[in-house]
Amino acid sequence: MLPQWARNKKILLGVSGGIAAYKIPELVREWLRAGCEVEVILTEAAAKLVSPLALSTLLKRRVWRDCDFLSDEHGWTIPHITLSGWADVFVVAPCSANTLQAAATGAAGTLLGAAMLACRAPVILFPAMNSNMWANPAVKANAHAVSERGYKIIDPDSGMLACGYEGEGRLPSTPAIVDETWFSIRENKDFAGKKALVTAGPTHEYIDPVRFISNPSTGKMGCAIAAEARYRGAEVVLVSGPTNIRRPSGVRVVGVTSAAEMRDACLAEAGSCDVIIKAAAVGDYRAKNYMEQKIKRGYASEITLDLAANADIAAELGRMKKPWQILVGFAAETDNMAENATAKLDAKQLDIVAANDVSADGEGFASDTNRLEIFFAPRHGQKPFSISGSKWEAASGLLDAVASILPVNEEFRS
């Protein structure tokens, strides 16, 4: 389920003649799953690479082509004006070298080019082409020109290209394009100019080279917070334990394995951050004696595992935090949730603690939904409140709580 701000958005998609056009039905499907309305403009070259019939079947509406540009049948609707005025965001993917040149020079000889000129919503271009073409100075000059004119241009990914070359030129992944769409649509940029450190996932505390102590955390909550903070304008660094989920685009990821590695990464990053959100499920204990070789079956009839406590990262950050920094902790509880969570506010010098009952349905590890109880340190004078819904909705509500005390903490800077 999407937060309120992301619902019912209108996306205009321009598809130009690059081989990566074959990926576009998947992209359209993702937007439709999110409840968006989508209109598609196909260049004549693109229509040879992706079926207009397939796209119109997905959309349950027509697709627009150059033959509709001021035609006898549709000219009275002025498609380039109507479509561009309707859109909340205009995405061009793939953006070929020819379309990039049209955007740079303001060429309006095609429906796509004219619609770009007429659009006042955010325009995002995703160039995709042969790596030698992308490296050509003429293409680089056009990319610079469109950026200067207010369009957002996303550099292509590197990898094996359809033409057989390997290098920079691939269309970014569908999730990355969707992330950039949400970033452009998100009007509230209340974290602009702020830097946020978010932790996510579990830690693995190894007993021997093949066995470790951990927990069922997937990192979904932390990644949702990192993504939402980025959508709201923050520079985000995500310190993540081992996870199998996609990390959000547009954030800097520091991958770690153990609690000790997470501590080191957090201490290295925290000093430059305005907001620190400790959403990771960090292991409280590690094996006291690590075995250098795999413990073989038959090693002993019984094995006693001695555990040593890991550092309390949140408490350490609380002791070192500056007056203008906001520190948010998480409390995954199975009993006495409010009592246990609020005790952490003072003990760890937190500004906010987000508590959830991990034994409840829809609130535990690996769930796609969550219910958070938000508690503030008494000095902020804020009443507790609850958030429930998807992890994206929970992330949005938590950042609303952080935003509510940002101005107070900013007073300490002066």
Could you tell me if residue 96 is inside a domain? Answer: yes
Query: What does pLDDT average to in each consecutive run of 10 residues of the chain (414 residues)?
Result: 84 96 96 94 95 95 86 71 96 97 94 96 97 96 96 94 89 95 94 97 96 94 97 98 94 98 98 97 95 86 91 96 95 87 93 89 82 94 93 95 84 61
* pLDDT computed for residue 413 by the predictor: 61
91 and 174 in a single domain? The answer is: yes
Residue 383 belongs to some domain of the structure = yes
Residues 161 and 118 in one domain: yes
Number of domains making up the chain:
2
**Does 157 lie in the same domain as 241?**
no
Residue pair 278/313 in contact (Cβ under 8 Å)? The answer is yes
Q: Are residues 229 and 270 in the same domain?
A: yes
Q: Please give the residue range of the domain that contains residue 258.
A: 195-292+301-413
Of 185, 215, 232, the one marking the end of a domain is: 185
Catalytically active residues are 163
Asked whether residue 126 falls in the same domain as residue 246, the answer is: no
Can you tell me the distance from the alpha carbon of 275 to that of 324, in angstroms, rounded to the nearest whole number?
A: 9
CATH number at residue 252: 3.40.50.10300
**278 and 161 in one domain?**
no
Q: What is the CATH number of the domain that holds 20?
A: 3.40.50.1950
Question: Could you tell me if 262 and 308 lie in one domain?
Answer: yes
Q: Is 210 found in the same domain as 179?
A: no
Domain shared by 164 and 212, yes or no: no
The pLDDT score that the predictor gives to residue 180 is 95
Q: Are residues 180 and 199 in the same domain?
A: no
| pLDDT confidence of residue 32 | 94
Q: Same domain, yes or no, for 178 and 204?
A: no
Alpha carbons 38 and 59: distance in angstroms, whole number: 7
Residue 2 pLDDT: 74
In a domain, residue 216? The reply is: yes
Residue 272 lies in a domain: yes
Q: Is residue 27, in this structure, part of any structural domain at all?
A: yes
Domain-embedded: residue 394: yes
Of 185, 218, 248, the domain-final residue: 185
Domain presence at residue 190: no
**For residue 74, what pLDDT is reported?**
59
Domain annotation covers residue 31: yes
pLDDT of residue 77: 73
Q: Which of 134, 163, 185 is the last residue of a domain?
A: 185
The verdict on 247 and 320 lying in the same domain is: yes
